Amino acid sequence: MSTIPVTEGPVDPAARPVEPPAGITDPRLARQIAFLLEIDQLKSVLRQSHLIDLSRRENDAEHSWHLAMLAVVLGEYAAVEVNQGRVIRMLLIHDLVEVYAGDTFLYDTQAAAGQAEREHAAADRLFPQLPGDQADELRALWDEFEARRTPDARFARALDRVQPLLLNFYTGGSTWRPHGVTRADVLAHQKTIEDGSPALWEYVRIMIDEAVRRRYLLA
């Protein structure tokens, strides 16, 4: 594989305003608004995947929105019944830590070795910026997504794997081909998809075989 940057990160935080306007007296609201402005950086974190029209690379905020829509449209294909609202919440927050940790390319094994540590450190920094009750709630959802021990989390994680595969296939392997990704590389993540949705895994399995046939993906 070619050399890939460890992460793709946000803009310089020094350029962002940090003080609320004069006259704001509700500290909880001010803290919530500050958090929402902080996570606006997610729009500047680029992923390796391209948009379907190949005009540019996708950013993390677009990825999270697309995943939420996958949950809405494909919820019937979860391995077992899930709480759609909780799945959507997980998908909307799962990459928030990348405002500090940056995005790590799935097929860069060297970068992936330190990914968990980077992202947990980022979570420790990010979520406490919210009021305590919301900080605890969102951190618990993020931890649940990462641990993949519940049906909601397993389905959410499956969708997180499926979405970039769809973008890759329907852009002719636009990320796979430059980085020399192989069929075995993709299949290494089979269980994450299959555990959350056997039906979606069957779709992906057929898609992978076709991608090899079309030479989007190395055999």
What pLDDT, in 10s, does the model give residues 12-28? 555 555 677 788 889 99
Please count the residues of the chain.
219
pTM listed for this prediction: 0.89
Question: Would you say 45 and 99 are in contact if contact means Cβ atoms under 8 Å apart?
Answer: yes
| Distance between CA atoms of residues 1 and 17, nearest Å | 40
Reply yes or no on whether the pLDDT at 7 is more than 90: no
Go through the domains of the chain in sequence order and give each one's CATH number.
25-213 (1.10.3210.10)
| Alpha-carbon distance values, 129 to 10, 89, 132, 156 (Å) | 18, 18, 8, 25
Task: List, as one string, the DSSP characters of 112-173.
Answer: HTTHHHHHHHHHHHHGGGS-HHHHHHHHHHHHHHHHT-SHHHHHHHHHHHHHHHHHHHTTTS
DSSP state of 47: E
- Give, in degrees to the nearest 5, the angle at Cα 65 between 15 and 112: 75
Mean pLDDT, to the nearest integer, of 65-94?
98
pLDDT band with cut points at 50, 70 and 90 for residue 111:
confident
Q: What are phi and psi of 57, to 5 degrees?
A: -80, 150
